Amino acid sequence: MAYCFGVDVGGTSIKLGLFFDNGSLIDNWEIPTRKESQGENIIPDIRDAVENKMTEKEIIRSEVIGVGVDVPAPVLDEGIVKETANLNWGYKEVKKELEEALLIPVVVANDANAAALGEAWMGGGKGENNLIMITLGTGVGGGIISNGKLISGAHGFGGEIGHIHVKDGELCQCGCGRYGCLEQYASATGISRLANEHFKTWNKETKLSEKDLSARAVFDAYKMDDKLAAEIVDEFAGYLVKGMHDLEIIIDPAVFLIGGGVSKAGEVLVDVIEKKFRRNVLFTNENTKITLATLGNEAGIYGSAKLVIDEFGK
Ligand SMILES: [Zn+2]
């Protein structure tokens, strides 16, 4: 039996998984992301974490088929990232640097794409070849699997569905520099922004308070039949479903997976999205499933390991 590693590099921690090359997880753990000094410690830290685990488990280099790494940035061919604000990296040849440090083959991918691949392999979309993962976190991330392959695109920006245009006339600018992106309304931050707008003009009873208009507070109130929360959730879901209808035409997915911090609201979130989606669904997509992602924080390590198995496995 051979081994591989899946590594998910985030802004605060690096999650690592040791797998058999049939996909079963042997061990997983995490280390802090040391972002100081332009993040120069990150790659050596990954090297040390992998090597220490090999020593602990008495695994030799020739038994490891590869190391998959996902990062919070668009990834170009040859595992290069241009700039990664969350890690304080500038231009970085991630694949080359880590291969030279470890002397093991390395594959690099975008984090949201890796999460989609992980979910398609072992999570909520298990066995599906056409799948769209929507990650509703601080921002809105996404990953698209079409005919079993990740769509990463010419600039590594494929599947960044948070930047689908869903609203004309928006005056606030999105992080990408444009106006009216899905992320501005459907991320945790976006939902909170909608909540603030609605709260200002609301003059009836509500369980929400100005002190806490977080996405979580909105969904908690929504579950208690709060009318203001219902208005906010309705607007959020409207934008999200608008984006999903565009995606269904382009990708024709079998399943939409909803993940990220906002998805902790649970089935109530799927219900509200589902109802809106069905109201105007294309006839071919009547059976398209909408469901919660199931791997949570482990989706990235699974997806990164899958990339290795696809590329270097037997
Ligand atoms: Zn944008």
Same domain, 285 and 170: yes
Q: How far is the CA of 77 from the centre of ligand 1 (A)?
A: 23
Count of alpha carbons within 13 angstroms of residue 196, beta-carbon side: 10
* Residue 281, CA distances (Å) to 132, 161, 244, 277, 278 in order: 16, 19, 10, 6, 5
- Residue pair 299/6 in contact (Cβ under 8 Å)? The answer is no
DSSP-assigned beta bridge partners for residue 122 = none
- How far does residue 286's CA lie from ligand 1's centre (Å)? 29
**pLDDT tens, position by position, 285-307:** 778 999 999 999 899 999 999 99
Q: Residue 7 Cα, ligand 1 centroid: separation in angstroms?
A: 27
Q: Is residue 122 part of a domain?
A: no
Whether 35 is in a domain gets the answer yes
Local structure of 195: helix, strand or coil: helix
pLDDT digits (tens, 9 = 90+) for 229-282: 999 999 999 999 999 999 999 999 999 999 998 999 999 999 999 999 999 887
Statement to judge: residues 190 and 148 lie in one domain = yes
Q: How many domains would you assign to the chain?
A: 2
Interval between CA 163 and ligand 1 midpoint (Å): 4
| Same domain membership, residue 307 and residue 261 | no
Could you tell me if 283 and 196 lie in one domain?
Answer: yes
User: How many angstroms separate the alpha carbon of residue 74 from the centre of ligand 1?
Assistant: 14
- Do residues 250 and 145 both lie within one domain? yes
* 194 & 179 share domain: yes
Q: What is the pLDDT of residue 83?
A: 84
Residue 45 within any structural domain of the chain: yes
- Looking at the fold, whether 100 and 150 belong to one and the same domain comes out as no
Tell me how far the alpha carbon of residue 208 lies from the centroid of ligand 1, in angstroms: 28
Domain range spanning residue 34?
Answer: 3-116+297-312
269 within a domain of the structure (yes/no): yes
pLDDT single digits (tens) 149-205: 889 888 888 999 999 999 999 999 998 899 999 999 999 999 999 999 999 999 999
Residue with tokens 């109130």: 221
The token pair at 156 is 């590594």
Domain with residue 96: its CATH number is 3.30.420.40
Cα of 24 from ligand 1 centre, angstroms: 37
The structure tokens listed for 52 are 């220490």
Same domain, 27 and 176: no
- Ligand 1 mean position, distance from CA 177 (Å): 6
Q: Say whether pLDDT at 84 is over 90.
A: no
Structure pTM? Answer: 0.87
Query: If you measure from the C-alpha of residue 165 to the centroid of ligand 1, how many angstroms do you get, rounded to a whole number?
Result: 8
Sort strands 25-32 and 13-20 into parallel, antiparallel or unpaired: antiparallel
Residue 159 gets which letter from DSSP?
Answer: T
* Residue 143 CA, ligand 1 centroid: distance in Å: 16
